[in-house]
Amino acid sequence: MPDHRSVTSTIRVADGNVGEVTFPQSFGLYLPLPQGTYHWDALVAGKAVVSDDFGR
């Protein structure tokens, strides 16, 4: 989050399936959220497989 706090959502999926989380609902967060740049990482078996930033 822009204030340098981290939030985490963990899901488990069976082999060959797709997992999906929705920000901010899947993280237990509610609007309004702080304005700024957010960074996210998706990890599989503890390894980052994709990451990005987005502005809010």
**What pLDDT, on the 0 to 100 scale, is given for residue 45?**
86
Considering the entire predicted model, what is its pTM?
0.73
Q: 2 is in which domain, residue-wise?
A: 1-23+35-55
In a domain? residue 19: yes
Distance (Å, whole) CA 55 – CA 37: 4
Cβ burial of 26 (10 Å; 0-12, 13-18, 19+) is: middle
In a domain? residue 30: no
Q: Mean of the pLDDT values across residues 35-56? A: 92
Distance (Å, whole) CA 25 – CA 44: 21
Over residues 10-25, the pLDDT tens digits come to: 998 888 898 899 999 9
pLDDT at 36 over 90: yes
**What pLDDT, on the 0 to 100 scale, is given for residue 37?**
93
Residues facing residue 53 across a β-bridge: 39
- Confidence at 44, pLDDT banded by 50, 70, 90: confident
In a domain? residue 8: yes
| Three-state secondary structure call for residue 30 | coil
* Mean pLDDT score of the chain: 91
